[in-house]
Amino acid sequence: MAAASAAHERRERSLPFDPEDPSYIKDLQRPAVIKEDLTEMERRKRVQEILDSKDFCSQLEEVRVSKIEI
Protein backbone atom coordinates (compact mmCIF):
# COMPACT_ATOMS: atom_id res chain seq x y z
CA MET A 1 0.00 0.00 0.00
CA ALA A 2 2.89 2.37 0.79
CA ALA A 3 4.33 1.84 -2.70
CA ALA A 4 1.03 2.76 -4.32
CA SER A 5 0.81 5.87 -2.17
CA ALA A 6 4.37 6.89 -3.07
CA ALA A 7 3.64 6.36 -6.78
CA HIS A 8 0.50 8.46 -6.48
CA GLU A 9 2.46 11.25 -4.77
CA ARG A 10 5.13 11.23 -7.52
CA ARG A 11 2.44 11.40 -10.17
CA GLU A 12 0.70 14.26 -8.35
CA ARG A 13 3.95 16.24 -8.10
CA SER A 14 4.85 15.67 -11.75
CA LEU A 15 1.57 17.07 -13.09
CA PRO A 16 1.71 20.78 -13.97
CA PHE A 17 -2.03 21.04 -13.27
CA ASP A 18 -4.62 19.78 -10.84
CA PRO A 19 -6.77 17.14 -12.59
CA GLU A 20 -9.55 17.88 -10.08
CA ASP A 21 -9.56 21.62 -10.87
CA PRO A 22 -13.01 22.58 -12.23
CA SER A 23 -11.52 24.98 -14.80
CA TYR A 24 -9.22 22.21 -16.09
CA ILE A 25 -12.15 19.79 -16.37
CA LYS A 26 -14.20 22.44 -18.17
CA ASP A 27 -11.32 23.04 -20.58
CA LEU A 28 -11.06 19.31 -21.34
CA GLN A 29 -14.76 19.17 -22.16
CA ARG A 30 -14.65 22.24 -24.41
CA PRO A 31 -14.80 21.46 -28.18
CA ALA A 32 -11.68 22.22 -30.23
CA VAL A 33 -13.48 24.90 -32.25
CA ILE A 34 -14.31 26.80 -29.08
CA LYS A 35 -10.71 26.49 -27.87
CA GLU A 36 -9.50 27.91 -31.19
CA ASP A 37 -11.97 30.80 -30.92
CA LEU A 38 -10.81 31.59 -27.39
CA THR A 39 -7.17 31.49 -28.48
CA GLU A 40 -7.94 33.82 -31.38
CA MET A 41 -9.82 36.20 -29.08
CA GLU A 42 -6.83 36.33 -26.73
CA ARG A 43 -4.47 36.97 -29.65
CA ARG A 44 -6.66 39.80 -30.94
CA LYS A 45 -6.83 41.28 -27.45
CA ARG A 46 -3.01 41.33 -27.22
CA VAL A 47 -2.72 42.88 -30.69
CA GLN A 48 -5.27 45.55 -29.77
CA GLU A 49 -3.37 46.35 -26.57
CA ILE A 50 -0.21 46.85 -28.63
CA LEU A 51 -1.99 49.02 -31.18
CA ASP A 52 -3.45 51.14 -28.38
CA SER A 53 -0.04 51.56 -26.73
CA LYS A 54 1.37 55.09 -26.87
CA ASP A 55 4.90 53.67 -27.13
CA PHE A 56 3.94 51.64 -30.18
CA CYS A 57 2.26 54.62 -31.81
CA SER A 58 5.29 56.84 -31.26
CA GLN A 59 7.66 54.19 -32.63
CA LEU A 60 5.41 53.67 -35.64
CA GLU A 61 5.33 57.41 -36.25
CA GLU A 62 9.14 57.57 -36.10
CA VAL A 63 9.40 54.80 -38.69
CA ARG A 64 6.82 56.51 -40.89
CA VAL A 65 8.63 59.84 -40.72
CA SER A 66 12.02 58.27 -41.40
CA LYS A 67 10.63 56.49 -44.49
CA ILE A 68 9.14 59.71 -45.82
CA GLU A 69 12.50 61.52 -45.47
CA ILE A 70 14.29 58.88 -47.57
User: What is the DSSP secondary-structure string of 4-67?
Assistant: HHHHHHHHHHH-SS-TT-HHHHHHHHS-HHHHHHHHHHHHHHHHHHHHH-HHHHHHHHHHHHHH
Mean pLDDT, rounded, for 21-42 = 90
Instruction: Give the pLDDT band (50/70/90) at residue 17.
Output: confident
Q: How far apart are CA 3 and CA 52, in angstroms?
A: 56
pLDDT of 1: 46
Residue 4 pLDDT exceeds 60: no
- Percent residues over pLDDT 90 in the chain: 47
Which of 13-27, 30-44, 46-60 has the weakest average pLDDT? Answer: 13-27
Q: Which domain holds residue 20?
A: 2-69
Query: Would you place residue 54 in the very low, low, confident or very high pLDDT band (cuts 50, 70, 90)?
Result: very high
Number of domains in the chain: 1
